[in-house]
Amino acid sequence: MTTLMQRNARPIRHGAPPRLFGVGQAVRLKGDFRTPATIADVYHVTATLPPRENSPQYRIRSETEPHERVVTEDRLEAVGILASDADTMLIEKTFGHGQGTETLQPRNREAEAGKGSGPA
C-alpha cells in the first residue's frame, strides 16, 4: 500500500539534462509569432548555465551587439540547419543515432563462393 507522500513524490533526477550546444558553437535565435528569426543574426555560445525549469540555459553573444544574452535551449538552433536536417536531428534525438541497428553491406557473391578473388 502506498502512502500519500509516496504518490506525490517527485522522481529523483541524477545529473544535468543533456545539452545540444557547446561553448563556441554558432547558433541562431528561433523566431516566433512576435519576432521572426533573421538569417544574419548569428550568435556564439560563450557559456553554459544551470537549467531553468528543466531547460538548459546558455549565454550567447553576437559580434554586432555590445552585450550578451541568456536564453534557454528551446529558443536556439544550430547555424546552417535546413528543415530536412532539423527533421533528421529530431529523429536522432528521439531514437538515437542508429544504436541497435546494423548497417547492411552489399554482398559480393563471387568472393563468398571463392571465385574472382584474383591470383592465388
User: For position 91, which CATH number holds?
Assistant: 2.30.30.390
Q: pLDDT tens for residues 21-36?
A: 999 999 998 877 776 6
Q: Is residue 3 part of a domain?
A: no
Q: Is residue 63 part of a domain?
A: yes
Q: Is residue 29 part of a domain?
A: yes
Tens-digit pLDDT string for the chain (120 aa): 556 555 666 555 556 568 889 999 999 988 777 766 666 689 999 999 999 888 899 999 998 889 999 999 999 999 875 545 555 566 666 666 555 555 555 666 666 666 655 555
Q: What pLDDT sits at residue 60?
A: 96
Into how many domains does the chain fold?
Answer: 1
Please list the residues that pair with 52 across neighbouring strands.
55
Residue 90's domain spans which residues?
A: 18-97
Q: Is residue 112 part of a domain?
A: no
- Map residue 61 onto helix, strand or coil: strand
Q: Is residue 23 part of a domain?
A: yes
Q: Is residue 68 part of a domain?
A: yes
